[in-house]
């Protein structure tokens, strides 16, 4: 073995180190998913209508960032809720969307001029083939909004731009809510439920074969948030199908890791065999 030439044992050690690095890098990357994608689960039955149903423990989740809505109303940039925790599941007949956010005060009942309710909303395009303007859609591309308020309950709304919100007289969506905890850990949990098939015009088709755009809004009543003063998200989407097996590149990465394992084992065995041969 000449000087300056790495031994096969050294090569093996380097390969093993590279494998460790590859594995440590590949694992979190393989677990990642495309930006703005919110995963969902395929489920059986309707047992997820309750916010506290055990079945929610097995449903994947996303923490969606919120910011103050671009609005001309007074104090529009004064909002407090920065994140909403989102889970979604779909059965053969229904879509379930579960939202959770921290709110230290339970604001129920706007019984005076300066009291406002906690509220949350989910927004979908009416026409799922095109993404509408995020601020309540547009005249040619309306949005279907599911709205829950701690005081008035559930409404289904149609909007074609700011200031155009109209309530459906017969909401196709229902919601159930709970509030638990105290202080900074106090949490609202709201579950929306809607049949995949819903009669009537201007309702989002939930049986779309493509991705389904979705956005969220939260109001904190104790911070005097109402109307256009609210925390909102960007557009996100539910993928066209559940990807419980992971994104396509996950299989590729693990294949690469598998090939690396085989290569390292082969190089190590070869190096050991040569070393033993040289000692004889």
Name the most confidently modeled range: 3-12, 37-46, 59-68.
59-68
Average pLDDT of the residues in 42-68 = 94
More confident position, 236 or 31: 236
What predicted TM-score, i.e. pTM, was given to this entire model?
0.77
Dihedrals φ, ψ of 257, to 5°? -60, -40
């Amino acid at each position: 073995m000449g000087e300056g030439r790495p031994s096969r044992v050294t090569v093996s050690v380097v390969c093993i180190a590279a494998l460790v690095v590859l594995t440590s890098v590949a694992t979190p990357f393989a677990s990642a998913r495309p930006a703005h994608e919110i995963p969902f689960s395929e489920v059986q039955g309707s047992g997820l209508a309750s916010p506290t149903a055990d079945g929610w423990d097995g449903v994947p989740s996303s923490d969606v960032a919120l910011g103050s809505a671009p609005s001309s109303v007074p104090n529009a940039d004064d909002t407090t809720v920065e994140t909403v925790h989102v889970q979604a599941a779909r059965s053969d007949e229904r879509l379930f969307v579960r939202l959770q956010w921290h709110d230290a005060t339970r604001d129920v009942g706007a019984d005076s001029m300066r009291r406002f309710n906690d509220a949350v909303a989910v927004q979908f395009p009416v026409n799922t083939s095109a993404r509408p303007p995020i601020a309540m859609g547009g005249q040619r591309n309306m949005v279907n909004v599911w709205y829950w308020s701690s005081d008035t309950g559930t409404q289904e709304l149609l909007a074609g731009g700011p200031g155009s919100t109209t309530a459906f007289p017969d909401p196709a969506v229902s919601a159930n809510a709970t509030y638990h905890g105290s202080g900074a850990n106090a949490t609202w949990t709201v579950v929306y439920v809607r049949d995949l098939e819903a009669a009537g015009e201007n309702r989002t088709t939930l049986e779309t074969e493509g991705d389904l755009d979705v956005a969220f809004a939260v109001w904190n009543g104790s911070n005097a948030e109402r109307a256009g003063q609210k925390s909102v998200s960007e557009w996100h989407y539910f993928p066209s199908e559940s990807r419980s097996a992971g994104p396509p590149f996950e299989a590729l990465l693990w294949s690469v890791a598998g090939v690396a394992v085989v290569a390292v084992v082969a190089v190590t065995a070869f190096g050991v065999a040569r070393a033993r041969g040289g000692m004889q």
